[in-house]
């Protein structure tokens, strides 16, 4: 139907509704028997009452609103418009009789005005609501054509659950038919919420699923903690239900949840910690309209950094990456997702000083995020020279160029393994921190360090390895029953880097509050459970022994670093007395001189000279802890170390 004809019909409907409402108001007021004098009043006032009300609707923009998508806000505009017109007619009713009997013919009774208000609002909103219902019904029929729908239980009858129920009703193409809620609030059981009945609590989930012939469950609790998600996932598994979860409430916009993002329950959901949130104003101010460089742009952290940076509208983004394929993939992704951001891919090795100089000269970055590094602890134990060249030499090269080319801010990605390091990787990252701190005292560039723990799902991390082992039928190999690590998600890690880059004044080490450390063996059990299997029954867990350079626990800060709070509630800052600059320069020169040699022990000794706290921890036995008294003794010693950590021997940010 042509647009002008459709608009004409809508105007005609509105005028008809206003006319019918006005006539009904007179009929109701006079009990369906209108005397001749009042009939004359009705006929005289009818045109101007309708015109006045439609003028008010036009003033409030009601005729421009789409009937198909009418909502509460549109309905409220109708109420405001008719109320305004009624107020004008009421004022006329009170004023005109004072002017004499000649104008009484245009005076509308107060009772008629009140009834007309209610009937007009009801009619106008009603016809629009009927149009919306008709349109949604037609869409549902089209979407549902040929789609088989699975019966699903919604776990959680709160705000997010109601949103999901509403969306599922309107989206039959998703193939999900919600049969009811399950909620642990006993006050909700038996009530109807969002058109669905709360059938019982999660403890009754298996019985409810069997009674309702349900094979799937959808967790609709926004921002539930890890313990809660773990418990629900286990109950669903025991009931034989395929389980998925909605995104967090921060991803729900405009009172709607994007159901295309419903996903399997992931290990990230079980962290038991609120996700880190950016202070977006300060981050935006530091990035918008600036040239940003990310080294190691093809890695897990580097690529996510690039995605986050693009959100804030940089003038240009420079991707520095040694590996062509990784650079190709991230460049292709970013140009597709952020076509408005100019992106320059540069193949370069951060250890190649001449190549990096040319890149800096050509791109002139204002903000540098240095994510390029060798990170795998056992691999760097076997190749200590490469760790020194990349983590120390590469950092020195890029930092010196940042100073020389007047970069405003430089952010180094570091690790909790740099605290009291027992590995070559941790020691080299600590040396890089020391160098940046010293350089910040001599440069106009603001050099800061960001230190965080293990990143869930990053390349080569424990999660992908466990998933491969589970897919192969096991066993899942864990190094030690008391091995613990701090964990964060890739987006969290990247957001912390951006936050630090915006907050840093130079020389600081920023630390994320990552909650309590997680046992690796518990992580393995959670992953097995999320795969629909049973730990130690369907999939065996074996202990292989601590690998070279590893320690049972990681620390985020030392007592000497005096970690203090910042304006961001999840970010702490450590301030350490700078090392003597001449000694730092000499020590790094010695390390790089030994990096190409074969004397690994001399290299480790030189690392110890620069980082006195660096020492090789006594590795626990590689035997399976379940066998024999020695292994049990070792586990007891590890437990004692846990107790010592909790008592304060192992410092954390305060």
pLDDT of residue 100: 58
Listed in sequence order, the residues at least 6 apart from 492 whose beta carbon sits closer than 8 Å to its beta carbon are 275, 276, 512
Cα–Cα dist 477/491, whole Å:
27
Q: Which tens digit of pLDDT belongs to each residue from 465-478?
A: 887 888 888 888 88
DSSP 78-121: HHHHHHHHHHHHHHHHHHGGGG-GGGGGGPPPHHHHHHHHHHHH
Q: Is the pLDDT of residue 440 over 70?
A: yes
**Residue 519 to residue 585: CA distance in whole angstroms:** 39
Instruction: Identify the band that residue 435 occupies on the pLDDT scale cut at 50, 70 and 90.
Output: very high
Sheet of 291-295: strands edge to edge?
Answer: 343-347, 316-321, 291-295, 367-370, 409-415, 446-452, 509-512, 571-574, 564-565
Cβ-based neighbours of 624, under 8 Å, separated by 6 or more: 542, 543, 631
Helix (H) / strand (E) element for 220: namely: none
Q: Of 279 and 369, which is predicted with more confidence?
A: 369
Q: 354 phi and psi, to 5 degrees?
A: -65, -45
* 334 HSE (CA, 13 A, CB side): 29
User: What tens digit of pLDDT does each residue of 546-584 get?
Assistant: 666 565 655 544 444 444 555 555 566 666 667 888 999
CA distances from 100 to 30, 96, 189 (A): 24, 8, 64
For residue 283, what pLDDT band results from cuts at 50, 70 and 90?
A: confident
Within 8 A by CB and 6+ apart from 183, the residues are 155, 156, 157, 158, 161, 189, 198, 201, 202
- Mapped to the 3 state alphabet, what secondary structure does 585-632 carry? HHHHHHHHHHHCCCCHHHHHHHHHHHCCCCCCCCCCCCCCCCCHHHHH
- We find that the CATH architecture of domain 286-461+486-515+554-619 is 3-Layer(aba) Sandwich (3.40)
pLDDT of residue 640: 45
Measured CA to CA, the distance from residue 175 to residue 309 in angstroms comes to 36
Q: Which of 319, 331, 407, 325 is nearest to 371 (CA)?
A: 319
Residue 31 makes CB contacts below 8 A (sequence gap 6+) with none
- Which residue has 């060249």 as its token pair? 389
| Percent of the chain topping pLDDT 90 | 25
Extract the tokens encoding 183: 């909620």
For residues 320 and 348, the answer to whether their CB atoms sit within 8 Å is yes
Q: Is 180 exposed, middle or buried (0-12, 13-18, 19+ CB in 10 A)?
A: buried
In tens, the pLDDT along 195-236 reads 788 898 888 888 888 888 888 888 887 666 667 777 888 788
Provide the pLDDT for residue 115.
92
Q: Which residues contact 404 (CB under 8 A, 6 or more apart)?
A: 360
Measured in whole angstroms, the distance separating CA 242 from the mean position of its chain's CA atoms is 24
Token digits for 278? 């950016």
Q: pLDDT tens, 375-431?
A: 888 889 889 999 999 999 999 999 999 999 999 999 998 887 888 888 899 899 999
150-265: which CATH architecture? 3-Layer(aba) Sandwich (3.40)
User: Which residues on neighbouring strands pair with residue 449, listed in sequence order?
Assistant: 412, 509
Which of 468, 476, 412, 475 shows the shortest CA–CA distance to 440?
A: 412
Quick one: average pLDDT of 87-107? 73
Backbone φ and ψ of 39, nearest 5°: -65, -40
Q: Judge if 150-265 and 286-461+486-515+554-619 fold alike in CATH terms.
A: yes
Answer yes or no: is pLDDT of 632 > 50: no
Three-state DSSP at 262 gives: coil
Of 319 and 462, which is predicted with more confidence? 319
Q: What is the pTM of this model?
A: 0.57
Buried b (16+ CB within 10 A) or exposed e, 570-604: bbbbbebeebeeeebeebbebbbebbeeeeeeebb
DSSP state of 172: G
Q: Per-residue pLDDT tens for 24-43?
A: 998 988 888 888 888 888 88
Q: Where are the domains of the chain?
A: 3-143, 150-265, 286-461+486-515+554-619
Q: Where are the beta strands (DSSP E) in 158-306?
A: 176-182, 192-193, 196-200, 216-219, 242-245, 263-264, 291-295
Q: What are phi and psi of 183, to 5 degrees?
A: -150, 145
């Amino acid at each position: 139907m042509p647009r002008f004809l459709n608009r004409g019909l809508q105007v005609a409907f509105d005028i008809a509704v206003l006319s019918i409402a006005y006539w009904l108001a007179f009929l109701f007021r006079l009990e369906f028997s209108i005397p001749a004098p009042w009939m004359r009043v009705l006929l005289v006032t009818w045109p101007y009452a309708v015109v006045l009300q439609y003028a008010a609707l036009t003033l409030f923009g009601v005729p421009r609103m789409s009937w198909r998508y009418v909502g509460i806000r549109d309905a409220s505009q109708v109420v405001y418009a008719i109320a305004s017109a009624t107020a004008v007619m009421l004022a006329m009713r009170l004023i005109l009789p004072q002017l004499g009997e000649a104008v009484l013919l245009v005076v509308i009774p107060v009772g008629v005005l009140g009834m007309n208000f209610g009937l007009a609002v009801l009619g106008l909103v009603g016809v629009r609501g009927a149009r919306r219902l008709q349109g949604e019904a037609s869409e549902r029929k089209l979407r549902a054509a040929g789609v088989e729908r699975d019966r699903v239980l919604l776990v959680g009858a709160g705000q997010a659950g109601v949103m999901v129920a509403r969306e599922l009703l309107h989206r039959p193409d998703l193939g999900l038919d919600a049969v009811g809620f399950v909620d642990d609030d006993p006050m909700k059981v038996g009530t109807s919420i969002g058109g669905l009945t709360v059938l019982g609590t999660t403890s009754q989930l298996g019985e409810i699923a069997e009674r309702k012939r349900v094979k799937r469950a959808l967790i609709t609790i926004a921002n539930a903690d890890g313990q809660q998600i773990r418990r629900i996932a286990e109950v669903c598994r025991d009931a034989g239900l395929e389980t998925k979860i909605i995104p967090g409430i921060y991803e729900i916009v405009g009172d709607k949840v994007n159901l295309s993002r419903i996903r399997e329950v992931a290990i990230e959901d079980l962290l038991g910690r609120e996700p880190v949130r950016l202070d977006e104003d300060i981050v935006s101010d530091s990035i918008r309209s600036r040239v940003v460089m990310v080294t190691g742009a093809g890695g897990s952290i580097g690529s996510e950094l690039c995605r986050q940076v693009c959100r804030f509208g940089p003038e240009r983004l420079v991707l520095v990456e040694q590996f062509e394929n990784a650079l190709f993939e991230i460049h292709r992704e970013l140009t597709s997702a952020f076509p408005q951001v100019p992106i320059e891919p540069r193949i370069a090795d951060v250890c190649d000083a001449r190549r990096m100089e040319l890149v800096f000269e050509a791109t002139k970055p204002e903000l540098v995020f240095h994510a390029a590094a060798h990170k795998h602890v056992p691999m760097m134990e076997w190749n200590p020279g490469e760790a020194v060249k990349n983590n120390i030499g590469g950092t020195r090269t890029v930092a010196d160029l940042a100073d020389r080319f007047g970069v405003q801010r430089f952010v180094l990605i570091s690790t909790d393994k740099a605290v009291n390091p027992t590995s070559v990787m941790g020691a080299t990252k600590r040396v890089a921190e020391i160098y940046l701190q010293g350089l910040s005292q001599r440069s106009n560039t603001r050099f800061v360090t960001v230190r965080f723990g293990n990143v869930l799902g990053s390349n080569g991390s424990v999660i992908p390895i466990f998933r491969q082992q589970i897919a192969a039928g096991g066993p899942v190999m864990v190094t030690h029953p008391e091995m613990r690590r701090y964990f964060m998600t890739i987006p969290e890690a990247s957001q912390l880097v951006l936050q630090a880059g915006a907050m840093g004044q130079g020389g600081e080490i920023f630390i994320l509050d990552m909650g309590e450390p997680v046992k690796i063996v518990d992580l393995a059990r959670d992953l097995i459970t999320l795969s629909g299997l049973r730990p130690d029954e369907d999939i065996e867990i074996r202990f292989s022994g601590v690998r070279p350079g590893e320690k049972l626990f990681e620390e985020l800060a030392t007592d000497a670093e005096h970690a203090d709070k910042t304006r961001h509630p999840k970010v702490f800052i450590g301030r350490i007395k700078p090392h003597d600059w001449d000694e730092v320069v000499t020590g790094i020169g010695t390390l790089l001189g030994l990096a190409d040699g074969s004397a690994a022990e001399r290299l480790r000794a030189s690392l110890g000279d620069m980082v006195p706290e660096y020492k090789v921890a006594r590795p626990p036995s590689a035997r399976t802890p379940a066998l024999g008294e020695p292994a049990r003794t070792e586990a007891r010693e590890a437990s004692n170390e846990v107790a010592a950590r909790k008592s304060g021997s192992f410092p954390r940010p305060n």
